[in-house]
Structure 1
Amino acid sequence: MESCTTMLQLKQIQACMTVNGLITHTYAVSRVVAFCALADIGDVNYAHETFPQIPKPNTYIWNTMIRGYGKAKIPTVGFWFFRCMVRERVEMDRWSFVFALKLCEQFCAISKGESVHCRFCKMGFSSDLIVQNGLVHFYAEHGCLDFALKMFDETLVKDVVTWTSIIEGYVVHNCSDEALELFNLMLLSDVEPNEVTMIINSDSGRR
């Protein structure tokens, strides 16, 4: 499957898997869904058609559908999958929330992202660094810099992604002085900036 270059080849492999009974194996069918939803030559609609045929899709498969619709720039369907996870009480992991927040960046309003935020707080993920980083990036992307900074301040252990997300938010929304101040604070911390941080800071200096 990893050598596939077209959807036709994928469907041929899927047919063989069906004949041999492998299509009922969760791992095997997850690779079919992942190829269709995430590969540049895939087809997220075909992944959607395959999904109902899976007896018990695991968390990875659900996450893949959310991520796939985010990649396809169809956030409404991706968010529908997230809501189905909540409604059907599917076990979620940190990536469920990260992909859902990334998806919510494509909506004009922040209400859906706020609902994701509320959900992961209820489920005890509020101290997870990867989820916190997703939240900082979400609010910063929407220009809710006060909320982004609040989430940033509440993140006890900050990595380079945390710092870069908040700095980028201020740069994108033309708050170059604040971005530069944050960058200087980053240099005083134990976190080393990466290439992305340096490029963003360079953009801040030109604004």
Structure 2
Amino acid sequence: MSQLNRIHAQTLKKGIEYSKTLIEELLRIPDIPYAHKLFNQSPYPTVFLYNKLIKAYSSQNQPRQCLSLYSQMLLKDCPPNELTFTFLFPACASFYSLLHGKLIHTHFIKSGFDFDVYALTALVDMYAKLGVLIWARQVFDEMTVRDIPTWNSLIAGYSRSGDMEGALKLFKLMPSRSVVSWTTMISGYSQNGMYTKALQMFLKMEKDKEV
């Protein structure tokens, strides 16, 4: 931490571009509260800088801080970008707040970022984890481009709700699968007490590897 303190002091003393130095240190610093302290002293925090801090808090499962930073962005007239929402949707899921998730979803659409597959996948995952599968499926169905994690998120949602039939239907529709796709199905069967089907799916996965 002493090195970071020296950089901080040099930044203030020499008047070099604060945000640039701060961003570089935020990428490495393990002490998020201290990084947040430096962030608060930046006169003009950029969306990139906000995203780094929101991502850091999200990775530490501190959704309140993520949502607080998002509110601060709006108050300071710093428009979010698609990456911001990619980090915010998981925070809403961790916070178990459908209200926050819906509000941020609305802002996401109004901001014009509802084309980004990564943000949309995070949105599908958020609704699935909050147990609102009808909305997760609606977002999924409206996506023009889906990647494997998008499919996996919805399959996991069906599995958590106990709808293994729905999960299997989706699994069979996948254009391609990853190991996570298979293990999500296997775990889903196991967690729902369907051990024979879990074993059958495992054997299918092993056979699929050989093809």
Q: TM-score range by the shorter chain?
A: 0.7 to 0.9
Q: TM-score, normalised by structure 1?
A: 0.84
Gaps of 5+ in 2: 193-211
- Cα deviations across residues 67-86 of structure 1 (Å, max 9, x unaligned)? 22222322212201101112
Are 1:169 and 2:153 matched, yes or no?
A: no
| 1:7-18 alignment runs, 5 A limit | 7-18=1-12
Match of 1:90 among 57, 63, 78: 78
**RMSD, aligned CA:** 1.8
Tell me, yes or no, if the aligned pair for 2:114 and 2:120 is still in contact at 8 Å: yes
- Cα deviations across residues 17-72 of structure 1 (Å, max 9, x unaligned)? 445544x3432221123333xxxxx1111112111211211111111121222223
More deviation, 48-57/145-154: 48-57
- Cα deviations across residues 122-146 of structure 1 (Å, max 9, x unaligned)? 1111222122111100000111111
Where does residue 197 of structure 1 map in the other structure?
181
Tell me, yes or no, if the aligned pair for 1:67 and 1:103 is still in contact at 8 Å: no
Gaps of 5+ in 1: 1-6, 37-41
Cα pair distance change 1:170/1:14, threshold 3 Å: same
Q: Distance between the aligned counterparts of 1:16 and 1:86, measured in 2?
A: 30
Cα pair distance change 1:20/1:88, threshold 3 Å: closer
Match of 1:111 among 95, 99, 110: 99
Amino acid at match of 1:32: E
Number of equivalenced pairs: 191
| 1:49-128 alignment runs, 5 A limit | 49-128=37-116
Per-residue deviation, 1:8: 3.4
Are 1:143 and 2:136 matched, yes or no?
A: no
Q: Distance between the aligned counterparts of 1:30 and 1:153, measured in 2?
A: 37
Q: Distance between the aligned counterparts of 1:104 and 1:25, measured in 2?
A: 30
Tell me, yes or no, if the aligned pair for 1:136 and 1:162 is still in contact at 8 Å: yes
Larger Rg: 2
Q: Distance between the aligned counterparts of 2:11 and 2:72, measured in 1?
A: 28
- Cα deviations across residues 142-193 of structure 1 (Å, max 9, x unaligned)? 111111111111111111111111011111222211111110011xx3xx21
**Percent identity between the two aligned chains:** 29
